[in-house]
């Protein structure tokens, strides 16, 4: 239900959508429903009058940014793009960001009739992200992500301290909270949270840090960051869940953002049974920081 509303109430803040749901102002077949209600064919949905904010005009991306994205295409066929997203680029506009990855791609390819994000990455995270060029690909890949089959995500992260070799999995429920009037999301390990599982593997041990591979087997908000923090090894450069003093030391070594990179995506394309594997090289700023650690 929440996804249905957000797709139709463009410009309405997410917090407002959940507010009208909590208050019972949205009715299905004359009855109150929860945000996770699954709509059925023939349902009658009543939505209260809501004010839709005018979307600001999307600015024109710079030629440099468009060249950067064009050179960042890792995979493309008639239904899908996989981009090596640069750091500090939001995946879409909004919340003070006028221009995101999807707006830049649409500006670069004005003849493309359909370009939609399959999934998301945080603004500070670099690496592999899928953009559907056909609705059929979007539905296929989002269903695979939802049912946790046919898609594999692999990240590289630098964590504080020496990650223990025997700590190969973090299995801890995560609860998402909203603060600052719904404008900020905070996630924490909590028994009432949703089941969450991440696999970790050591790639390289430094004196005071460890480069790890992280495979989230569930898709919770900030999952890798919070699971690493709960294990006592926050991610380098993490201003929300990390160590401020350690982050200040790391800035002197060149780590000026969250050290988290979507290094690999594997997925089954529609009509295929074998996985297509796409890898994104570590972004230059993170690669330089690792050399400094060496």
pTM to 2 decimals?
0.80
Asked if CATH classification 3.40.50.150 holds for the domain at 63-293, the reply, yes or no, is no
User: What percent of the chain is predicted at pLDDT more than 90?
Assistant: 66
**Residues near 83 by Cβ (< 8 Å), separated by ≥ 6?**
69, 72, 73, 74, 101, 105, 128, 129, 131
So which residues are the catalytic ones?
Answer: 122
Nearest CA to 160 out of 249, 63, 271 is that of 249
Given a cut of 60, whether residue 95 has pLDDT beyond it is no
Nearest CA to 156 out of 6, 294, 61, 282 is that of 282
Nearest CA to 236 out of 130, 178, 163, 173 is that of 163
**Least confidently predicted of 55-59, 108-112, 141-145, 235-239:** 55-59
Nearest CA to 294 out of 206, 210, 213, 218 is that of 206
Q: What are the residue boundaries of the structural domains of the chain, listed by start?
A: 2-46, 63-293
Distance CA 7, CA 33 (A): 18
Read off the pLDDT of residues 209-264 as tens digits, 9 standing for 90 and up: 999 999 999 989 999 999 999 999 999 999 999 999 999 999 988 889 999 999 99
Read off the pLDDT of residues 21-60 as tens digits, 9 standing for 90 and up: 888 899 999 999 888 889 999 999 999 988 765 555 556 8
């Amino acid at each position: 239900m929440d996804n249905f509303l957000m797709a139709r109430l463009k410009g309405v803040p997410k917090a407002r959508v959940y507010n009208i749901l909590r208050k019972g102002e949205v009715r299905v077949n004359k009855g109150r429903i929860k945000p996770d209600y699954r709509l059925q064919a023939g349902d009658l949905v009543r939505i209260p009058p809501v004010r839709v904010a005018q979307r600001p005009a999307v600015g024109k991306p710079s030629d440099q940014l468009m060249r950067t994205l064009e050179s960042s295409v890792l995979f493309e066929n008639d239904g899908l793009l996989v981009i090596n997203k640069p750091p500090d680029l939001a995946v879409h506009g909004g919340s003070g960001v006028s221009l995101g990855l999807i707006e830049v791609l649409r500006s670069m390819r004005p003849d493309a009739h359909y370009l939609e994000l399959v999934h998301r990455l945080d603004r500070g995270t670099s690496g592999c992200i899928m953009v559907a060029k056909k609705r059929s690909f979007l539905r296929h890949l989002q269903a695979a992500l939802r049912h946790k089959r046919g898609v594999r995500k692999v990240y590289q992260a630098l964590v504080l301290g020496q990650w223990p070799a025997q700590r190969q999995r973090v299995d801890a429920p995560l609860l998402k909270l909203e603060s600052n009037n719904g404008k900020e999301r905070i996630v924490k390990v909590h028994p009432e949270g949703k089941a969450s599982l991440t696999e970790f593997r050591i790639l390289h041990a430094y004196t005071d840090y460890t480069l790890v591979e992280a495979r989230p087997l569930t898709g919770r908000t900030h999952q890798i960051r919070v699971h690493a923090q709960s294990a006592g090894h926050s991610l380098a450069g993490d201003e929300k869940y990390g160590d401020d003093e350690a982050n200040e030391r790391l800035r002197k070594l060149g780590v000026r953002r969250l050290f988290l990179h979507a290094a690999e995506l594997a997925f089954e394309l529609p009509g295929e049974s074998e996985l297509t594997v796409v890898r994104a090289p570590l972004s230059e700023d993170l690669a330089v920081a690792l050399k400094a650690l060496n």
